Amino acid sequence: MVRIPAFAMIVASGMLIGVACNRTENRASSPQGEASREATPKATGVALVRYVSSVDAHSATDLYFGDLKLFSTAGAEQPTGYKQVPAERRDFILREAGKPDGMEIEKNSEGLSDGKHYTVVAWEDENGKPVLRVFNDEESAPDAGKAKVRIIHAAPKMEPVSLYAPGHKDKIAGESRFSTASTWQEVDPIAGALVIRAGDEKNGVHAAVPAGGIDAGKLYTFVVQGGPKSAEKLHVVRMVDSPSNTQ
């Protein structure tokens, strides 16, 4: 019989535990941003944060929560997975990439709650100034046979923004104010393409929603970014979530 030294067994066990913790703290999203808001125990002292970035001139930055580096902006053009952070009040900060002690480019002080999920979104206004917003992701599951939808308006000078299905007269959801998120709106499932319309009838522009379609039982967040007053074309980042069973 081959005896494995106790030290080797301890090292191997530590490696397995480290891998498991990493999987818990950084739940990967699919290319369309699909994730599961898994329930976390109450009073754990941790919250969960993901990041979406649409900054152009400030793309070479890192996102921090206090002194804790969370994500590279360059890697957040699509939604990141959720990562565990302390459930407390700190500043979310954009700093020049690789410079943890560098000058703050933008910051936003937020208090995070135990077990809650948050999405941090960065973009630039019509003057190229970075904007950093934190949105609470917690929401109850939709009624049977329904879905829930919200829009985060990050398209400068493009008001309002609305979600439509081609061939349907009525909008599915909308948000009129820049730099805000709509309330969650319960909707019927929709098969096929979706489109965002931004701006008024005279100066409005359209952008296709990636992947399209709305399935029952899901939570959908559409981040509308860019447009004529931005350095980027109007585009949409789509996030699909499964609500936790405890909400």
* Sequence-separated (6 or more) residues with CB below 8 Å from residue 93: 63, 64, 65, 66, 104, 105, 106, 107
What is the pLDDT, as a whole number, of residue 38?
62
What is the pLDDT, as a whole number, of residue 223?
95
Q: Is 80 exposed, middle or buried (0-12, 13-18, 19+ CB in 10 A)?
A: buried
What is the pLDDT, as a whole number, of residue 215?
96
Question: Which residues of the chain carry a pLDDT beneath 70?
Answer: 1-43, 201-203, 245-247
Q: Is 69 exposed, middle or buried (0-12, 13-18, 19+ CB in 10 A)?
A: middle
CB 63 within 8 A of CB 50: no
What is the pLDDT, as a whole number, of residue 21?
36
What is the pLDDT, as a whole number, of residue 43?
63
Q: Domains in the chain, please, with CATH?
A: 44-138 (2.60.40), 139-242 (2.60.40)
